[in-house]
Amino acid sequence: MPPSPPSPPPSPPSLPPSLPLSLFSSALVASLVGYGASVAILLAAARSLGASPAETASWLLAICLAKAVGSAFLSWQSRVPVVLAWSTPGAALIAASEGIGMAEAVGAFLLAGGLIALTGAWGPLGRLIARIPDAIAAAMLAGVLLPFCLTLPGAAQSDPMLVLPMIVVFALVRLRNPAMAVLAALALGIGLAFLTGEAAALGENPGLPGLVLIWPDWSAPALIGLGLPLYLVTMASQNLPGFATLRAAGYAPPVRPALLTTGGLSALTALAGAHTTSMAAITAAICLGEDTHPDRSQRWKVGLAYGLVWLLLGLFGAFVLALLEALPPGLLAAVVALALLGPLMGAASAAFATPEQRFPALVTLVVTGAGLPVLGIGAAFWGLVAGIALYALDHWHRRSR
């Protein structure tokens, strides 16, 4: 028998592809937008509870760590770009509360986190989320994003020497590298703000924060008056729109793992004074488009980059907060608007793609975009309710003819 040909040498193990810079760009912009847009509400909530400076710093650090760990874990586990937030409506609810101290609030935070995790163990919620029509979910997202994008002309009018160059740089960079356009505009805006003196001087960095353990005080008025409403507003105004945002981007949201994870993290970080961690909607939209990664099957890796950014924001939160407070308000408004133009375009296109769903989608967009909360629940929830109700009515009418 002729000798067998020699076997080819073994090929070297393939290296994992490097993470595109666009992943970190989207994660950084989304994190700074989420941090700068709502940290003032969180600080107001801490003041309303009489939190000490150490307890406030512990609150901020703990919830940043929860967002970092939760986003990275859920994105890796589900291979879906899951982006977490702190509950901004929940922080507003806390800020409006009276007569509740930190220890009582910790008990309420523990209750809210436990109820969120318990909801995650309840299967019907996931099936309910999956039945939301894609057009309705996309219209809800478009309605959430539209008011932020509409602030761009006002920001340009109020501070043209700062905002107009940012818009020009955004438009030019977008021609070559859309993923870096917002980051380039942000870098230019920060540089111009300090060069022209529009930015305030930075104070001394107080150093790294630490966690403070706070034992709960199980007060029935706080549990009923704060814990239950905090659970409801987090579910209705954050988690449901967050899941719908993933649906609008074409992903199947991991409802049960997300609720179990965010509920468990919320209960754990409550002992450090932090309120609830939840799904993100607005900042998530920045991380879900093609600018983040051209391959949607690899877009989940933005959750890892997002987690890293939030880890750094937690550790260096005092410096980042001082930087954001020093910047002109128009700069942050312009960055938010520019970052959300792409997601708004995608959401609006998906909302009106299906003819029989266009009118319910339009109503969803209008109700959500109006931004009027009802019974303490945000407009995004009521936009979903209105759109689904009209969709069901239209569906019933077509079947009855």
**Dihedral over Cα of 74, 76, 80, 84: its sign:** positive
The ranges assigned to domains in the chain are 21-200+207-400
* Residue 297: CB atoms within 10 Å: 7
Task: Quote the pLDDT of residue 362.
Answer: 92
pTM for this model (two decimals): 0.71
Do 92 and 45 meet the contact criterion of CB atoms below 8 Å apart?
yes
Query: What does the alpha-carbon distance between residue 45 and residue 27 come to, in Å, rounded to a whole number?
Result: 26
Question: pLDDT at position 238, please?
Answer: 83
Q: What is the pLDDT of residue 283?
A: 81
Check if the beta carbon of residue 306 is closer than 8 Å to that of residue 71. Answer: yes
DSSP helix/strand/coil, 80: coil
Q: What is the DSSP string of 301-369?
A: GHHHHHHHHHHHHHHTHHHHHHHHHHS-HHHHHHHHHHHHHHHHHHHHHHHTSSGGGHHHHHHHHHHHH
For the four alpha carbons of 235, 239, 241 and 244, in that order, the dihedral sign comes to: negative
Helix axes 53-78, 255-270, angle to 10 degrees: 160
* pLDDT given at position 11: 40
Nearest-angstrom CA–CA distance, 137 and 248: 5
Residue with tokens 């994003």: 145
H/E stretch holding 277? strand 277-279
pLDDT mean for each 10 residues of the chain (401 residues): 43 44 82 75 83 88 94 94 87 79 93 90 69 79 80 88 90 80 83 82 67 90 83 80 85 91 95 93 80 83 92 83 75 79 80 86 89 72 86 83 71
Amino acid found at 229: P
Buried b (16+ CB within 10 A) or exposed e, 149-162: bebbeebbeebeeb
The CA dihedral of 212, 280, 153, 181, to the nearest 10 degrees, is: 90
Determine the pLDDT at residue 19.
59
User: Exposure pattern of 219-254 as b/e (b: 16+ CB <10 Å)?
Assistant: beebbebbbebbbbbbbbbbbbbbbbbbbbbebebb
Res 264: pLDDT: 95
